[in-house]
Structure 1
Amino acid sequence: MRSDRTIPAAARATRAAAAGALVATLVGCGTTGTGPAGGPDAPLSVVTTTEVLADLARNVAGDRAQVTSLVPRGGDPASHEPSLRDVRDVVYADVAFSGYALLEGPALTSTLEANLRAEADHVVLAEAAVKYAATIIPLVENVNLDTLWLGLAVTGTGERHGATRASDVELRAVGLDGPGQLTGYVTETFGQPRVFLDSADGFDDHDAVTLPTDAHTHMSWTFSEPGVYALDVEAELHPAPEADPVWLGRTTVTFAVGVEPHEVAAATGATVLDDGHADLAVELDQGAIVLAADATDDHGSHDGEDASGDHGGDHDGHHHHYSDPEQTLIAVPTKALAPVPAGPDFAFLGRAGDQIYQLPQAVLGKHVHGEIDPHLWQDVRNAQAYVEIIRDTLVEADPEGAEEYRANAAAYLRVLEETDADVQRTIAAVPVERRYLVTTHDAFAYLGAAYDVEIAGFVTPSAATEPSVAERARLTRTVRTLGVPAVFLEQHLAARSAVLTEVARENGIEVCPIYSQSFDREVTTYVQMVRANADSIHRCLS
């Protein structure tokens, strides 16, 4: 938990010397402060990088510690430039709490590392929270990949049909009802696409895939326009070259592309499939085409798989649920919008740069390796984990105050428990088909996961980057296709919100407030912040 203790002794000594020199400079300039330099009876000095962390710490510390946030009210930790006062607060601190390196900008992180005394505790809360049962969401490198992965497979033995390892199965596309072009292709080892099916000029004998028995392949599915697509497919088994083919069935696979899937599903009573890994599978023993959902909840590959090839093995061991495609609706969300790659090899998808909807071929490395989304507190249960870490850290730093810290933490944890329940009820009152959040940047994945809100879109992944033309176009298409009644503006990013407000104005929808990591005059505590967010979502989306 004490990340400073992993720093080599030489580095700690160097940092201590630098801190000592800076303390001397500050004292020489007439600067005084609290903490150890203030005498043995001075309260514990705690610094945090953000207002949210400071508020959590104050609720645990009570009167036994002085808690200071380096980033002021309304500030952005990613861009905050530390002042001389900030440096002084760090030098005199006994304990420092930061969020995570991807939350704070380099200037803030460097100020902590260069000036915090060697004997002070520096706790990186997002990393420590893993041991306190917090929910961790990996940071998505490319949001377009964070969708359902839909492959193809052959399952079962097929012994009653005379199938052997030398047999194969042909899966054919035979019809499509939809507003645009549908394609299915794989990207091979050297990046070349191999098209399995393409509706641009209708379907013929070329729109088919031949798979060996017990095979599995990942595949990309693309759609040129939003709407509902009904794809008719049929399959037959070829037991041996001289044997007659065995008819295995026909079915319709339905996709809700860029539109609200629950409304579409409600009309037919279908189940929505929108996450994880599934296969359109030819089940030999049932003699049917089914959807086989993966046994894991993540997008990891099967044992022994390569992300781009066909594989054998007992795939029944990897699936836990078969469903009827005609009773299932596959969701292709607006975040699946991606540009057509440049180059003649991908011309079958459209013009380079055009936006298409894509369920991607399973790609290793969807997440940034080793990195997590740092906005954990958007889930109140994660904030409870932070409180427990702060409690244990302060008890260790100030054992004489242990009873007070524990009592304060227990009382505050009860408040957070009630707050979490209220947030759950408030957001649950919004119809599920309207729970779409469009924001300034990608800071609300934990809110979405905890309270069943779909993160439909944002201007840019990071608040520190400027939006591209493609990102603006994707945001506009998302707003129009889903018909969202409002977008949500983070208060501390109001000065950099031109794109979001312009898109809202052009489409005649409301701009509503939401808080990610900073307070303002109306919202001055963490509990007020999460309640304000829930109320804003309820008011603007209901």
Structure 2
Amino acid sequence: MRRTIPVLLAVGVLATACSSGAATGGRLPVVTTTEILADLVRNVGGERVSVTSIVPSGGDPHSYEPTPRDATNVAKADVTFTNHLLLEEHALIKTIDANARPGTPNVSLAEAAETYGATVMPLVEDIGLDVAWLGLAVRGEGKARGATRTSDVRLAATKLEGPGTVAVYLTEALGQPDVYFDSADGLDAKDTTTLPPAAHTHLNWAFSAPGVYRLTLSAQLVTGQAASAPIGEGTFTFAVGVDPHTVADKPAIIGVGHTDLAVDLDTGGVYAYTDSGTGQQHPVPANDVVVDVPNRALETVPDDPRFAFLGKPGASIHQLPQAVLGKHVHGEIDPHLWQDVRNAKAYVQLIRDTLKQRDPRGAATYDENARTYSARLDELDTYLRQRIAGIPKDRRQLITTHDAFGYLAKAYDLTVAGFVVPNPASEPSAEQVRKLTETIRNLHVPAVFMEPNLAQRATVLTQVATDQHVKVCLLYGDAFDEHARDYLAMMRHNADELRTCLGGGA
């Protein structure tokens, strides 16, 4: 069963928070989720604001869990900025929305910045597995049902027919399994997990014996203190180690590509949202689907007591892999907008107008600061273009530890050739290492890139890079460190590192 993290409430602070400006020397107290957003706010607000970032230096906004102190800081803030688009951990968004004082701006920059000229792009995930990559998803906004960004959708496995057992689990970044559904002891109330609206998560799907399985999933909406409300239910068929064409009543066979078993908050539909290896996802009703789990998906249960729920060590199971190690809940839109400097400029304009709304007396200061900083961002954008333009086009290939550089690639004429995909629940296989090796060799890349705060994910990448005699370089994605303490420095470093490591001169 997936652990549900409670919302943190700053009890006792709300009654006195209206005078919070006094505690910051008369400056406007502002809370942001990340250091990058905090830096943008400081450049616009100047001496009129006091800014606190919830995620600390070097922290990962995708996984940071809030503390009671974070809840207190939010309750004292006159303005709160998040990035959202599911960049931040859902518990963090819940804590912010539960503690932000009524009437104070609580702005999701990535979602609101489009009106200021920001561009968003789909989060296209192409892992290149030779079996289906299967996750869970919630689609739609559910406004007619009363859903908000802090709502939960409860997904439950309620019925299984088949020759063996099914275990659906997530492998966390350090290898610890988090079991969502496990039919070994029957399906009951513990075989449940939750996702926020518009979210997707990666999972492992393990089957103990070959044959045809039918798994029923149901969904309920949980909003605030209200009782859960049913959304929909559907039954999916799996052909495990047998020819999927023998399931004659199922017209849609899913054997490769990215597929989510999804519930739609708007329609109540339950379906497979699949690209079937085409790169473009579309819905297929649950009753029309058969998921192919072929014999090439055979794995052995690790000799590790943490994975005893899969069976005895050394036993054979059929498993569709999680594909991306660690907790990786996200939406359909890539949330890393700031990797395109023009999007950061849109953030700055939205921050300016939000601060002016809350502090009209500072309007002239916010306008002047925003103009000055936007000019520096224009210079930064030109710098990135010039530096990257000096890299030979056949060398503009990015292989990284984290799929966070789509905007950088699109804005500055690079190609994301891949990111590290270790096999959850075990050491990376020889086949996966071979594929990464061939990608590096075939593209003749001179370097691969690691994010400083994600070094634990980079062991395979660095080993293959060493074997292939290519450099391992550093790119900043979500967080600062002691070497890059602000957005301008971070992006200038990225431009210089790309130019130096991919070629074109120092």
Give the structure-1-normalised TM-score: 0.53
Q: How far 1:63 sits from its partner (Å)?
A: 0.4
Which structure 1 residue ranges, 5 or more long, are not aligned?
1-14, 28-32, 146-187, 194-218, 222-276, 278-297, 307-339, 345-351, 354-367
Q: How far 1:78 sits from its partner (Å)?
A: 1.6
Q: Helix, strand or coil for the counterpart of 2:448? A: strand
Match in the other structure for 1:524: 485
Distance of 1:465 and 1:132 partners within structure 2: 44
Match in the other structure for 2:470: 509
Q: Helix, strand or coil for the counterpart of 2:72? A: helix
Q: Helix, strand or coil for the counterpart of 1:67? A: strand
Aligned residue among 354, 360, 365 for 1:393: 354
Q: How far 1:139 sits from its partner (Å)?
A: 1.7
Q: Give the RMSD, CA atoms, in angstroms.
A: 4.0
Aligned residue among 4, 26, 42 for 1:42: 26
Q: Helix, strand or coil for the counterpart of 1:71? A: coil
Within the alignment, does 1:439 sit opposite 2:400 as a pair? yes
Deviates more, 1:132-141 or 1:424-433: 132-141
Q: Decide whether aligned partners of structure 1 residues 417 and 40 sit closer, same or farther in structure 2, where only a CA change above 3 A counts.
A: closer
The letter for the 2-side match of 1:44 is L
Distance of 1:36 and 1:465 partners within structure 2: 48
Q: Helix, strand or coil for the counterpart of 1:137? A: coil
The letter for the 1-side match of 2:110 is A
Q: How far 1:472 sits from its partner (Å)?
A: 4.3
Q: How far 1:538 sits from its partner (Å)?
A: 0.4
Q: Helix, strand or coil for the counterpart of 2:84? A: coil
Within the alignment, does 1:87 sit opposite 2:39 as a pair? no
Aligned residue among 294, 319, 333 for 1:342: 294
Over residues 136-185 of structure 1, what are the superposed CA-to-partner deviations in whole Å (9 max), with x where a residue is unaligned? 1112254559xxxxxxxxxxxxxxxxxxxxxxxxxxxxxxxxxxxxxxxx
Q: Is the 8 A contact 2:66 2:92 kept in 1?
A: yes
Within the alignment, does 1:21 sit opposite 2:12 as a pair? yes
Q: Is the 8 A contact 2:391 2:499 kept in 1?
A: yes
Q: Is the 8 A contact 2:451 2:477 kept in 1?
A: yes
Match in the other structure for 1:403: 364
- In the TM superposition, 1:243-322 aligns within 5 A as none
Distance of 2:253 and 2:60 partners within structure 1: 43
Distance of 1:466 and 1:443 partners within structure 2: 25
- In the TM superposition, 1:10-409 aligns within 5 A as 18-23=9-14, 36=20, 38=22, 42-142=26-126, 144=128, 190-191=251-252, 342=294, 371-409=332-370
Distance of 2:366 and 2:71 partners within structure 1: 27
Within the alignment, does 1:483 sit opposite 2:444 as a pair? yes
Q: How far 1:22 sits from its partner (Å)?
A: 4.6
The letter for the 1-side match of 2:408 is L
Q: Decide whether aligned partners of structure 1 residues 21 and 428 sit closer, same or farther in structure 2, where only a CA change above 3 A counts.
A: same
Q: How far 1:89 sits from its partner (Å)?
A: 1.4
Over residues 425-484 of structure 1, what are the superposed CA-to-partner deviations in whole Å (9 max), with x where a residue is unaligned? 00000000011111001000000000000101101499x999864654432221122121
Match in the other structure for 2:410: 449
Match in the other structure for 1:429: 390
Q: Is the 8 A contact 1:19 1:116 kept in 2?
A: no
Q: Is the 8 A contact 1:45 1:65 kept in 2?
A: yes
Q: Decide whether aligned partners of structure 1 residues 499 and 35 sit closer, same or farther in structure 2, where only a CA change above 3 A counts.
A: farther
Over residues 505-537 of structure 1, what are the superposed CA-to-partner deviations in whole Å (9 max), with x where a residue is unaligned? 222211101100111112111011111001000
Q: Is the 8 A contact 1:56 1:387 kept in 2?
A: yes
Q: Is the 8 A contact 1:76 1:518 kept in 2?
A: yes
Q: Is the 8 A contact 1:35 1:45 kept in 2?
A: no
Within the alignment, does 1:541 sit opposite 2:499 as a pair? no
Distance of 1:125 and 1:72 partners within structure 2: 19
Q: Is the 8 A contact 2:27 2:48 kept in 1?
A: yes
Match in the other structure for 2:322: none
Distance of 1:58 and 1:110 partners within structure 2: 24
Q: Is the 8 A contact 1:460 1:467 kept in 2?
A: no
The letter for the 1-side match of 2:382 is A
How many pairs were matched up? 325
Q: Decide whether aligned partners of structure 1 residues 488 and 39 sit closer, same or farther in structure 2, where only a CA change above 3 A counts.
A: closer
The letter for the 1-side match of 2:59 is G
Q: Decide whether aligned partners of structure 1 residues 40 and 457 sit closer, same or farther in structure 2, where only a CA change above 3 A counts.
A: closer
Q: Helix, strand or coil for the counterpart of 1:62? A: helix
Q: How far 1:84 sits from its partner (Å)?
A: 3.5
Q: Decide whether aligned partners of structure 1 residues 467 and 421 sit closer, same or farther in structure 2, where only a CA change above 3 A counts.
A: farther
Distance of 1:467 and 1:382 partners within structure 2: 38
Q: Which runs of 4+ in 1 moved over 6 A?
A: 298-301, 464-467
Q: Which has the larger radius of gyration?
A: 1
Q: Decide whether aligned partners of structure 1 residues 85 and 391 sit closer, same or farther in structure 2, where only a CA change above 3 A counts.
A: same
Distance of 1:65 and 1:119 partners within structure 2: 18
Q: Helix, strand or coil for the counterpart of 1:89? A: helix
Identical columns (%): 47
Q: Helix, strand or coil for the counterpart of 1:524? A: coil
Q: How far 1:220 sits from its partner (Å)?
A: 9.6
Q: Is the 8 A contact 1:459 1:467 kept in 2?
A: no
Q: How far 1:424 sits from its partner (Å)?
A: 0.1
Q: Decide whether aligned partners of structure 1 residues 20 and 491 sit closer, same or farther in structure 2, where only a CA change above 3 A counts.
A: same
Distance of 2:406 and 2:427 partners within structure 1: 19
Over residues 391-428 of structure 1, what are the superposed CA-to-partner deviations in whole Å (9 max), with x where a residue is unaligned? 01101111110110010000100000011001100000
